[in-house]
Amino acid sequence: MAQYRRAGAAVAVIRLHNAPVNALSSAVVQALAQGVKKADLDPSVKAVVICGANGKFSAGADIRTFSSLQPRDRPALAETVSLIERSQKPVVAAIEGVALGGGLEVALGCHYRIAHAQARVGFPEVLLGILPAAEGTQRLPRLIGIPAALDLITTGRHVLAAEALKLGIIDEIVKENTVERAIELASKVSGQPLGPRKISLKPVPDLPDMEAILSEALVKVKRKARGRLSPEMCIQAIKAAVQLPFAEGVEKERELFRFLLGSGQAKAQQYAFFAERAVEKWTMPSGTSWKTASAQPIRKAAVIGLGTMGRGIVTSLVKAKMLVVALEQDQKQLDIGREAVTSLLQWEASKMQQSGQSQDICDPARLQFTLDFGALRDVDLVIEAVFEDMALKKEIFRKLSTICKPEAFLCTNTSALDIDEIAAVTSHPHQVIGTHFFSPAHVMKLLEVIRGHHTSPTTIATAMSLAKTLNKVGVLVGNCFGFVGNRMMAPYVEQAIFLLEEGCKPEEVDQAVEGFGFHMGPFRMLDLAGLDVGWRSRKGQGLTGPKLAPGTPARQRESRRYSPLPDFLCEQGRYGQKAGKGWYLYEKPGGRTANPDPWLYNFLSEYRETHGIKARFVDQEEILERCLYALINEGFQILADRIASAPEDIDVIYIYGYGWPTHRGGPMFHASTVGLPHVLSRLQKYSEAHPDIPKLQPSPFLKKLVALGSPPLREWVSHVRQPSSKL
């Protein structure tokens, strides 16, 4: 747990040992404290070095133990950090790999800190719904000042050693032999006065406008937090460092930590942390899994189509140091695509420069633009991102099948289309897979990986490994229209539009959803994505447009309720932001400020009058429940169909692809939190009121879980009927 050894005559080395990341479990903390006490009591020891096994200092407190933590517990870690600082002998932290959260707090208790050039430090607690609770909120501001401490503690961002040195978090960077160098330093400084090295004894560096800095920071984090409590509590703790003596500041930190720990948000965010790691360990019903399938190396990739998605995908691949061939259909589109990719790469390079990273990873020399499919002969993997048109996609895959080398992986970025139908036109359907990126593709962390009927385990492993290489989170799902994310989005958007028919304004629906924590409500989201996208899809399905059978009632399709509202908007050229008008009015085409539109209010009133709909007041609760529970209901059906293999998969997709607020843990976690009987009863109520909306009728799987007494979320999939498997 923590190994104690002597290095030379006078230095004791304490090595934290808890694979894989040296998390500070109570056993590790206890062993660390014993080591420090032992060194203190041994007169032959003149100095101490603390380091971590396996090239990592420590990733902080053991998150798995938080659920069993009693709110009244006094963190033993904080006491150990104080113990280190109080030591009569100099203690040097030798930081390799990571010193995060409690790991950094241990390092701040030390009198000196040396880090390897590749090491990262930070306080990511805020992302887990808590705050640094082993005196970190009191020591860091004393060491690096309030503005920098506010930034690190409220964002949770990791900083590389170079930036940490600049900020004053560490004293020295080394390129190799970190522990040896720390031992040398420890020997050198032994006997020197320690007072000036004890951070808790330092005052917080004073600034004339301290009050203003703190209040501006509070306004900023509140605006961004969308209901998350931890960033605001971090500021309160930092404020305590400014206003109170160290010991009282520590008391305040503990009080805030206890509050956050009991808030429910911490539980949701920690669930999300482990869910993200769980989805990486995919398994198929056949038993094949990440353990047995091996990914193939991808050195050279191609992207077909450089529109909204293709340009972001190219940027991601170049950033990951791959050779990339970017292909378009004509010179004009190729030039537009080249310009867009170049500017995205420049933007990425400037971001990297700011954070002290090497910019050569955005090297455009690795990129070839072409109109010639022949340039794809030697690529290891192709990602097709042309228009959402099955005939076109098939034509492209037919071509790829003859041109690419036989072992090349063929991926489609389709948002909803059938992977099997696309794969069927190739001679290697087992090498075809869906890789559904999210817009903007160089920013969004999610990659929905869709397995077709014939897709091989190697192809899956390669696509999942590609996600990791691109610094994204890959989630493996089954093949159905819309897969997981867009399939669940459909009933959510449908409810939002029905609510407009019944009496709401777009901004009322958006405000309710944004109040829940979403970055954007459904109407702002639709305007951003472009209303024409859905219109084209509905025309393709014969729900509107020339394929619609004459005499079809305006608000009904096959006995189901249908709203032609979005079709009418598209007929008026109101395609959303790009047209300067959609559900909202924008300052200009491409404008971003959504303003309520009086034209739309009139239009809605006339529409209701035409169709004999009496507008009614719909409260926030009904807006939220109808939108969110329709989405969650589809999630239960997706689990029953085995399109997603666990609720965690759905939750990760929604957090990283659709802006579901992390502090609500994802839609399925949210359902488990509010209680399955509650979700069921509300769906029953709404479906009775709207019997013509099938998506409000509770999923049989949700009913089954309720009948079984609402087992905990981790047990849900064990109740799925196996023969219905589509995975």
Q: Which residue has the tokens 């203190």?
A: 40
d(C-alpha 259, C-alpha 229), whole Å: 10
Q: In what order do the strands lie in the sheet with 432-437?
A: 367-370, 323-327, 300-304, 381-384, 409-412, 432-437, 446-450, 473-477
Residue 388 touches ligand NAD, criterion: CB under 6 A: yes
Q: Smallest distance, Å, CB 270 to ligand HSC?
A: 9
Taking CA 421 as the corner, what is the angle to CA 526 and CA 330, rounded to the nearest 5 degrees? 65
Cα 278 to chain centroid, rounded: 14
Near ligand NAD in 289-318, by CB under 6 A? 304-310
H/E segment holding residue 313: helix 308-319
Q: Residue 422 is encoded by which pair of tokens?
A: 């696309």
Q: Smallest distance, Å, CB 146 to ligand NAD?
A: 40
Q: What does 64 interact with, of ligand NAD, ligand HSC, none (CB < 5 to 8 A by kind)?
A: ligand HSC
Q: Smallest distance, Å, CB 374 to ligand NAD?
A: 13
Q: Residue 336 is encoded by which pair of tokens?
A: 């537009």
Taking CA 89 as the corner, what is the angle to CA 84 and CA 90, rounded to the nearest 5 degrees? 75
Binding residue for ligand NAD (CB under 6 A) from 283, 439, 458, 552? 439
Q: Smallest distance, Å, CB 103 to ligand HSC?
A: 7
d(C-alpha 398, C-alpha 426), whole Å: 6
| Plot region of 444 (φ>0 → left; ψ -120 to 50 → alpha; else → beta) | beta
DSSP code string of 236-262: HHHHHHHHS-HHHHHHHHHHHHHHHHT
Q: Which residue is nearest to ligand NAD (CB)?
A: 307
Residue 385 touches ligand NAD, criterion: CB under 6 A: yes
d(C-alpha 598, C-alpha 585), whole Å: 9
Q: What are phi and psi of 416, to 5 degrees?
A: -155, -20
Amino acid at 223: R
Beta strand residue intervals within 373-525, DSSP E: 381-384, 409-412, 432-437, 446-450, 473-477
Q: What does 77 interact with, of ligand NAD, ligand HSC, none (CB < 5 to 8 A by kind)?
A: ligand HSC
How big is the chain, counted in residues? 727
Question: Which of 308, 697 has the CB closer to ligand NAD?
Answer: 308
Residue 529 touches ligand NAD, criterion: CB under 6 A: yes
Q: What does 387 interact with, of ligand NAD, ligand HSC, none (CB < 5 to 8 A by kind)?
A: ligand NAD
Q: What does 133 interact with, of ligand HSC, ligand NAD, none (CB < 5 to 8 A by kind)?
A: ligand HSC
Q: What does 54 interact with, of ligand NAD, ligand HSC, none (CB < 5 to 8 A by kind)?
A: none
| Window of 19-27, 54-62, 431-439, 641-649 that interacts with ligand NAD by CB under 6 A | 431-439
Active site residue 184: no
Q: What are phi and psi of 159, to 5 degrees?
A: -120, 145
Near ligand NAD in 396-415, by CB under 6 A? 396, 413-415
Residue 58 touches ligand NAD, criterion: CB under 6 A: no
Amino acid at 576: G
Is 294 in contact with 282 (CB distance < 8 Å)? no
H/E segment holding residue 335: helix 331-354
Residue 489, classed as helix, strand or coil, is helix
Q: Smallest distance, Å, CB 126 to ligand HSC?
A: 9
Q: Smallest distance, Å, CB 695 to ligand HSC?
A: 35
Q: What does 401 interact with, of ligand NAD, ligand HSC, none (CB < 5 to 8 A by kind)?
A: none
Q: What does 124 interact with, of ligand NAD, ligand HSC, none (CB < 5 to 8 A by kind)?
A: ligand HSC
CB neighbours of residue 542 within 10 Å: 13
Residue 161 touches ligand NAD, criterion: CB under 6 A: no
| Window of 383-391, 589-597, 639-647, 675-683 that interacts with ligand NAD by CB under 6 A | 383-391
d(C-alpha 317, C-alpha 307), whole Å: 15
Q: Which of 79, 85, 96, 105 is catalytic?
A: 105
Question: Which of 63, 92 has the CB closer to ligand HSC?
Answer: 63
Q: Smallest distance, Å, CB 308 to ligand NAD?
A: 4
Q: Which residues bind ligand HSC (CB under 6 A)?
A: 20-21, 23, 59-65, 69, 75, 77, 98, 100-102, 105, 124-125, 128, 132-134, 136, 274, 277
Question: Which of 210, 392 has the CB closer to ligand NAD?
Answer: 392
d(C-alpha 414, C-alpha 433), whole Å: 10
Q: Smallest distance, Å, CB 414 to ligand NAD?
A: 5
Q: Smallest distance, Å, CB 23 to ligand NAD?
A: 36
H/E segment holding residue 2: strand 2-7
Dihedral through CA 180, CA 181, CA 187, CA 189, nearest 10? -160
Q: What does 414 interact with, of ligand NAD, ligand HSC, none (CB < 5 to 8 A by kind)?
A: ligand NAD
Give the residue from 251, 263, 270 showing the smallest Cα distance to 133. Answer: 251
Is 342 in contact with 365 (CB distance < 8 Å)? no
Is 667 in contact with 487 (CB distance < 8 Å)? no
Q: Smallest distance, Å, CB 570 to ligand NAD?
A: 16
Q: Which residue has the tokens 């028919």?
A: 501
d(C-alpha 322, C-alpha 394), whole Å: 26
Q: What does 304 interact with, of ligand HSC, ligand NAD, none (CB < 5 to 8 A by kind)?
A: ligand NAD
Counting DSSP H helices and E strands in the chain, the numbers are: 27, 19
d(C-alpha 397, C-alpha 433), whole Å: 11
Q: Smallest distance, Å, CB 585 to ligand NAD?
A: 22
Residue 327 touches ligand NAD, criterion: CB under 6 A: yes
Q: Which of 125, 232, 328, 508 is catalytic?
A: 125
Q: What does 69 interact with, of ligand NAD, ligand HSC, none (CB < 5 to 8 A by kind)?
A: ligand HSC
Q: How many residues bind ligand NAD (CB under 6 A)?
A: 25
Question: Which of 261, 579 has the CB closer to ligand NAD?
Answer: 579
Question: Which of 128, 240 has the CB closer to ligand HSC?
Answer: 128
Q: Residue 125 is encoded by which pair of tokens?
A: 């607690």
Give the residue from 51, 101, 49 showing the smallest Cα distance to 75. Answer: 101
Cα 485 to chain centroid, rounded: 14
Q: What does 478 interact with, of ligand NAD, ligand HSC, none (CB < 5 to 8 A by kind)?
A: none
Active site residue 105: yes
d(C-alpha 307, C-alpha 393), whole Å: 15
The binding site for ligand NAD (CB under 6 A) comprises: 304-310, 327-329, 333, 385-388, 392, 396, 413-415, 436-439, 529
Q: Annotated catalytic sites, by residue? A: 105, 125
